[in-house]
């Protein structure tokens, strides 16, 4: 895997300084004038060290655009000053990118390079997730009950024991799933709609209602108009 160094808003003098800090730990580091030169080189899986100044919102938007415009074979490590938690999350969620503060050189860069360069882990017996949809033919036909009983059975059955099972109720207005299971609904659809960039593993975990059987449930509180 080739590692390239270029600027993404920072000065050439700053790139020289960063190169000096990385030279001893990444001796094969290749300096290029711009990210566009990677396209002309038709590079395979590569890491781009992009030197940036401490960004404001406009610069973060530009950096995210750069990441999205290029091949997923390119992983960007952006080196700069301090960055807000919100902007860091936006950058991470944009795809193949991470941020390293200049004070963290060279160790944080090496950690990220090692992670990106590591072979994918394939767990023994791992399979792709299976999605089963329950669609009612009419109101009041027991669709929720059937979905709940199926989900709990999958949790407890010997052949699927140990598998993670989640029940997602897409009825955000009049869900009764948590009532039937005697658990509190935690899914807040309106919070995701208001700020979709906040959705990450941590927020998603906060939306899970855990049943004693081991079933995870994503269901919203009933609207007061459908109580």
What are 39-61's pLDDT values in tens digits?
Answer: 666 667 888 888 886 555 457 88
Over residues 116-128, the mean pLDDT reads 66
**Same domain, yes or no: 96 and 19:** yes
Over residues 79-96, the mean pLDDT reads 81
pLDDT at 132: 93
pLDDT at 57: 47
The pLDDT of residue 225 is above 70: no
**Same domain, yes or no: 6 and 112:** yes
| pTM summary value | 0.57
Tens digit of pLDDT for each residue in 127-154?
Answer: 678 899 999 888 788 999 999 999 999 9
Per-residue H/E/C for the chain: CEEEEEECCCCHHHHHHHHHHHCCCCCCCEECCCCHHHHHHCCCCEEEEEECCCCCHHHHHHHHHHHHHCCCCEEEEEEECCCCHHHHHHHHHCCCEEEEEHHHCCHHHHHHHHHHHCCCCCCCCCCCCCCCCCCCCCCCCCHHHHHHHHHHHHHHCHHHCCCCCEEECCCCCCCCHHHHHCCCCCECHHHHHHCHHHCCHHHHHHCCEECCCCCEEECECCCHHHC
Over residues 88-109, the mean pLDDT reads 84
**Same domain, yes or no: 11 and 97:** yes
Asked whether residue 191 is domain-assigned, the answer is yes
Q: Which of 100, 117, 134 is the last residue of a domain?
A: 117
Tens digit of pLDDT for each residue in 60-81?
Answer: 888 888 888 888 889 999 998 8
Q: Which of 101, 117, 133 is the last residue of a domain?
A: 117
pLDDT at 183: 92
Asked whether residue 125 is domain-assigned, the answer is no
The pLDDT of residue 10 is above 80: no
**Same domain, yes or no: 28 and 88:** yes
More confident residue, 181 or 86: 181
Question: Which domain covers residue 83, as residue numbers?
Answer: 2-117
pLDDT at 61: 84
């Amino acid at each position: 895997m080739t590692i390239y160094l270029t600027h993404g808003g920072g000065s050439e003098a700053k790139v020289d300084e960063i190169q000096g800090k990385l030279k001893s730990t990444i001796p094969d580091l290749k300096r290029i004038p711009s990210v566009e030169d990677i396209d002309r080189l038709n590079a395979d899986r590569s890491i781009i060290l992009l030197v940036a100044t401490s960004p404001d919102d406009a610069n973060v938007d530009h950096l995210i655009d750069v990441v999205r415009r290029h091949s997923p074979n390119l992983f960007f490590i952006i080196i700069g000053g301090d960055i807000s938690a919100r902007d860091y999350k936006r950058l991470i969620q944009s795809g193949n990118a991470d941020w390293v503060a200049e004070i963290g050189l060279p160790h944080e860069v090496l950690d990220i390079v090692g992670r990106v360069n590591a072979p994918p882990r394939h767990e023994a017996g791992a399979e792709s997730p299976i999605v089963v949809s329950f669609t009612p033919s009419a109101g009041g036909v027991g669709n929720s009950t059937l979905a709940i009983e199926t989900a709990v059975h999958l949790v407890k059955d010997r052949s699927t024991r140990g598998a993670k099972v989640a029940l997602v109720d897409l009825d955000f207005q009049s869900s009764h799933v948590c009532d039937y299971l005697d658990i509190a609904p935690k899914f807040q659809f309106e919070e995701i709609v208001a700020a979709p960039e906040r959705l990450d593993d941590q927020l998603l975990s906060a939306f899970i209602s855990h049943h004693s059987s081991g079933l995870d449930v994503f269901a919203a509180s009933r609207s007061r108009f459908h109580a």
